[in-house]
Structure formats: structure tokens, C-alpha cells
């Protein structure tokens, strides 16, 4: 792993480079290289600080709005899609240690893996440089997404868009989001959902909450655009 290259990308030099190596180690790597610890605990830590940092930013940028609006705006930013988007811009995928099987399955481009690695990076920045280091990175790396969310340009309510499209097809359209499976411990669950309309599967998605998984299933349905088959 070229840690210097990634440090230059994020604009931070680690005092303890072991933190960075751990943050960039996927659990699949441990099955083949057992001497490394994976980034799952760091994900847990990073998730908490990411949520707090974005909450503060949104609070200051929207001084006149209600708690409900603040919550919705934060949710637009604190999600798998945003984390993966920034992860791709930083080229984080090529730096992740992962097992050959996961890599062969396209793991370096999976939203879930990129998002988890980004959360781990935020967590490890906190451990290595304190809250200020984590806050500085998040505000800079997510600045474009934060501005889009605050200005109302960041749209992620894919479920509503799908609903509108399908309702135009007639009164008897039945839209259902069904959970296929759940994985992981209680504090770090992943939900897998599919969107079904009149018995036909239109999209599948996963996420750290049922709502996020449903949004991702709706997003896939929109990307596939196969509503004409109904």
C-alpha cells in the first residue's frame, strides 16, 4: 500500500501510519492475511463523528430552519452514496487491502466498501489527530455535497420519484419494498431490499438502514428504467 500517496490525497500526514493501514483493510483481507486487523471498528467510530461534524455544519449553514429540516438535510449528506462519491473522488478503492475473491467480484468499486472505508478514515483521523483533524477533512472533502444539500440541489428521494412514475400508469399499481436479508451485528447491520411492483422486481438495494436500502432499490429501478414492462 502506498500510504504516502493517499496521505497526499487527503492532505494529512499520520503520526501512526498503522491507523491508516487498518482503516484501509477490508474484512475479506483477514481471511487470507490474518496478521492485519480490519476497519470495522473504525467504521463505527467514523460514523459517529461524521454524523456529528455534518450536523454542526448544517446547523450553522441553515440558521433559520426547523429541527425537522435540519435532520432531513443531514440525512442527505450522511449516507452511503455521499461517502462512496467522495471515496471515488479520492481514489480510495485502489488503496484498500482486500481478499482476492472480493476484488474479483468488483469490490474496489462497490459503494458499500468505499463508504465503509471512508467512515474508517474519519475514525482514524480522530484517533491520530483529534476532532480537529477529522472535522477539517470532512468539511473539505464533503464541501460540494454539503453545499448541494443546503441549497436544495441534492436530491435523493428516489422512492417518491418511482412512486410518481408508477402512479401515472394506473390505479391498480401495487408498490412494495421487501427485505431479502439482514447481515451483521446489531450496531452495524446491513439490510438488503428489493422493490416489487405487481409481482415484478424493478430494483434491488442495500444500506445501513431499511430506509437507505429502499432508496437504493428505488435508485436502481430508476437507473434501469424498465417501467414500460408493467
Give the bridge partners for 205, in sequence order: 193
Residues 222 and 162: their CA atoms lie apart, in Å, by 7
- Catalytic annotation, pick one of 111, 119, 128, 214: 119
From the number of C-beta atoms within 10 Å of its C-beta (0-12, 13-18, 19+), residue 9 rates as: middle
Question: In sequence order, which residues have a C-beta less than 8 Å from that of residue 91 and are 6 or more positions away?
Answer: 9
- Catalytic annotation, pick one of 38, 47, 111, 214: 47
Q: What is the enclosing helix (H) or strand (E) of 180?
A: strand 175-183
Q: What is the enclosing helix (H) or strand (E) of 61?
A: helix 40-61
161 is catalytic: no
Helices (H) and strands (E) in the chain, counts: 11, 3
Give the bridge partners for 131, in sequence order: none
Longest CA–CA separation in the chain, Å: 62
C-alpha Rg value of the chain to the nearest Å: 19
111 is catalytic: no
Which residues are annotated as catalytic? Answer: 47, 119
Amino acid at each position: 500500500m502506498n500510504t504516502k500517496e493517499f496521505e497526499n490525497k487527503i492532505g494529512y500526514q499520520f503520526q501512526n501510519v498503522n491507523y491508516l493501514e487498518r482503516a484501509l483493510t477490508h474484512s475479506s483481507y483477514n481471511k487470507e492475511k490474518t496478521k492485519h486487523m480490519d476497519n470495522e471498528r473504525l467504521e463505527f467510530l467514523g460514523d459517529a463523528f461524521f454524523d456529528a461534524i455534518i450536523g454542526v455544519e448544517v446547523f450553522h449553514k441553515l440558521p433559520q430552519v426547523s429541527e425537522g429540516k435540519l435532520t432531513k438535510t443531514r440525512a442527505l449528506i450522511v449516507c452511503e452514496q455521499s461517502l462512496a462519491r467522495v471515496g471515488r473522488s479520492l481514489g480510495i478503492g485502489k488503496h484498500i487491502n482486500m481478499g482476492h475473491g472480493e476484488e474479483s467480484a468488483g469490490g474496489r468499486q462497490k459503494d458499500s466498501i468505499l463508504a465503509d472505508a471512508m467512515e474508517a478514515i474519519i475514525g482514524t483521523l480522530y484517533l491520530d489527530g483529534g476532532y480537529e483533524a477529522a472535522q477539517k477533512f470532512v468539511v473539505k472533502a464533503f464541501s460540494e455535497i454539503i453545499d448541494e444539500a443546503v441549497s436544495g440541489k441534492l436530491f435523493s428521494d428516489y422512492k417518491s420519484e418511482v412512486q410518481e412514475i408508477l402512479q401515472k400508469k394506473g390505479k391498480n399499481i401495487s408498490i412494495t419494498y421487501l427485505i431479502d436479508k439482514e447481515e451483521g451485528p446489531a450496531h452495524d447491520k446491513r439490510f438488503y431490499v428489493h422493490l416489487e411492483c405487481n409481482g415484478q422486481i424493478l430494483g434491488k438495494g442495500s444500506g445501513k438502514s431499511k430506509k437507505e436500502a429502499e432508496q437504493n432499490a428505488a435508485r436502481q429501478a430508476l437507473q434501469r428504467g424498465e417501467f414500460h414492462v408493467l
